[in-house]
């Protein structure tokens, strides 16, 4: 199913505008059809990266590299690691919307960490991780506690944006597992954020606020805030668990199979070239399947489907 979703997205890769990239919306009558954004393209990048790690199919690796490089060349990922929202295709993406959201940085970090792991620690992926990590942890943390800087301090986070910190937190934890050199930076911040997030919940734990920075804005208590608090806490469990790269150091040829050829029709056989950690592949494979309900929900929430 994951490779079929990948093929479906490859078929929508649009070279006619902005020299590539995916549009935010599929149908011409949807608001946002003329917009290409980091959320859509970073999720595609992460999917390609995880499938590359699972299957050993070079096609997925090539698309992961191509999609990340397109975001860099289009100005969605700045030289300092800043990840901005997107751009309008009507001006060929020449003027970008510079607002920053934590979830975009997190999704890119997690995917880049998988590529770092897949390429056995390639410097290019280590550099990309460091840039995005260093910038995002400066922007999205205040006094060591996570916040959605663009809207949280002014009380203007909408129902979608209240989920973003949760997505950021869980992707930071996944980054540690695939790229352990990030452990100290990320773990320190997640450990300080978790109790601050939990402190904003009532005694029953059934109602939690969006704002976690002590003395800051409390914000609304809704499903987005609940989701973000839950992920802020659970991400510490993922970081403290045995990492996917350390479960089994024995290697086996390949880690899965795929019929994807990256042309949108899935007709040619994928390869299992190279060696992959069996445990890593099993974990990522399970993660792809287990994440599908949540991925579909998030896609519906963010207007991708």
* pLDDT at residue 238 in the model: 86
Domain of 85: which CATH number?
1.50.10.20
Q: How confident is the model at residue 206 (pLDDT cuts 50, 70, 90)?
A: confident
DSSP SS3 for 251: strand
Is the residue at 263 inside a domain? Answer: no
Burial of 266: CB neighbours in 10 Å, binned 0-12, 13-18, 19+: middle
Average the pLDDT over 211-226 and give the result: 93
Tally of helices (H runs) and strands (E runs) in the chain:
9, 7
Residue 87 β-bridge partners: 36, 96
* pLDDT at residue 232 in the model: 97
* pLDDT at residue 243 in the model: 55
Residue 97 β-bridge partners: 86
pLDDT at 242 over 80: no
* pLDDT at residue 228 in the model: 97
User: pTM of the prediction?
Assistant: 0.82
Burial of 255: CB neighbours in 10 Å, binned 0-12, 13-18, 19+: buried
- Token pair 């999205």: residue: 140
Is the residue at 266 inside a domain? Answer: no
Q: How confident is the model at residue 233 (pLDDT cuts 50, 70, 90)?
A: very high
Is the residue at 228 inside a domain? Answer: yes
Distances (CA, A) of 21 to 52, 87, 270: 19, 11, 23
pLDDT at 11 over 80: yes
Which residues, at least 6 apart from 115, have a Cβ–Cβ distance to it below 8 Å?
A: 49, 52, 53, 61, 64, 65, 68, 122, 125
Q: DSSP character for 91?
A: G
Average the pLDDT over 277-294 and give the result: 38
Is the residue at 31 inside a domain? Answer: yes
- Token pair 């980054």: residue: 175
Number of domains within the chain? 1
Average the pLDDT over 110-120 and give the result: 98
Average the pLDDT over 235-249 and give the result: 62
Q: How confident is the model at residue 38 (pLDDT cuts 50, 70, 90)?
A: very high
Is the residue at 254 inside a domain? Answer: no
pLDDT at 109 over 70: yes
Q: How confident is the model at residue 203 (pLDDT cuts 50, 70, 90)?
A: confident
Using a pLDDT cut of 90, give the percent of the chain over it.
Answer: 73
* pLDDT at residue 194 in the model: 97
Helical (H) or strand (E) element with 51: helix 38-55
Q: What angle do CA 156, 31, 22 make, to 5 degrees?
A: 100
Q: What angle do CA 130, 133, 139 make, to 5 degrees?
A: 140
Average the pLDDT over each of 29-33, 73-77, 251-255 and give the range with the smallest value.
Answer: 251-255
The chain-wide mean pLDDT, for the chain, equals: 84
Segments forming the whole domain that contains residue 218: 2-248+274-301
Which residues, at least 6 apart from 180, have a Cβ–Cβ distance to it below 8 Å?
A: 243, 245
Average the pLDDT over 209-236 and give the result: 94
Give dist(CA 111, CA 118) in Å, integer. Answer: 10
Is the residue at 257 inside a domain? Answer: no
Is the residue at 171 inside a domain? Answer: yes
* pLDDT at residue 205 in the model: 61
Q: How confident is the model at residue 261 (pLDDT cuts 50, 70, 90)?
A: low
Q: How confident is the model at residue 288 (pLDDT cuts 50, 70, 90)?
A: very low
Is the residue at 268 inside a domain? Answer: no
pLDDT at 299 over 50: no
pLDDT at 138 over 90: yes
Q: How confident is the model at residue 297 (pLDDT cuts 50, 70, 90)?
A: very low
Q: pLDDT for 145-193, tens place per residue?
A: 999 999 998 999 999 999 999 999 999 999 999 999 999 999 999 999 9
* pLDDT at residue 22 in the model: 98
pLDDT at 67 over 50: yes
Residue 127, number of CB atoms within 10 A of its CB: 13
* pLDDT at residue 100 in the model: 98
């Amino acid at each position: 199913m994951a490779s079929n979703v990948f093929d479906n997205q490859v078929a929508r890769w649009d070279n006619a505008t902005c020299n590539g990239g995916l549009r935010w919306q599929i149908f011409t009558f949807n608001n946002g059809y003329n917009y290409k954004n980091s959320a859509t393209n970073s999720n595609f990048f992460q999917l390609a990266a995880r499938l590359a790690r699972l299957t050993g199919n070079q096609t997925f690796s090539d698309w992961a590299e191509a999609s990340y490089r397109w975001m860099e060349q289009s100005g969605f990922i700045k030289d300092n690691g800043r990840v901005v929202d997107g751009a309008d295709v009507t001006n060929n993406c020449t003027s970008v919307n510079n607002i920053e959201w934590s979830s975009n940085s997190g999704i890119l970090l997690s995917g880049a960490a998988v590529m770092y792991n897949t390429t056995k620690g390639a410097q290019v992926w280590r550099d990309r991780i460091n840039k995005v990590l260093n910038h995002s942890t400066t922007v999205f943390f205040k006094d060591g506690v996570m916040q959605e800087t663009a809207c949280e301090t002014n009380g203007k986070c909408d129902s979608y944006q209240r989920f973003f910190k949760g997505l950021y937190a869980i992707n930071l934890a996944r980054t540690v597992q695939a790229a352990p050199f990030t452990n100290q930076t990320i773990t320190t911040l997640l450990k300080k954020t978790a109790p601050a997030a939990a402190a904003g919940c009532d005694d029953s734990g059934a109602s939690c606020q969006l704002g976690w920075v002590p003395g800051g804005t409390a914000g609304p208590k809704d499903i987005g805030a609940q989701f973000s608090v839950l992920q802020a806490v659970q991400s510490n469990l993922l970081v403290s668990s045995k990492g996917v790269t350390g479960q089994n150091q024995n290697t086996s040829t390949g880690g899965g199979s795929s019929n994807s050829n990256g042309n949108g029709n899935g007709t040619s056989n994928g390869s299992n070239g190279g060696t992959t950690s069996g445990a890593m592949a099993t974990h990522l494979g399970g993660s792809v399947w287990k994440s599908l309900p949540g991925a579909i929900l998030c896609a519906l929430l963010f207007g991708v489907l």
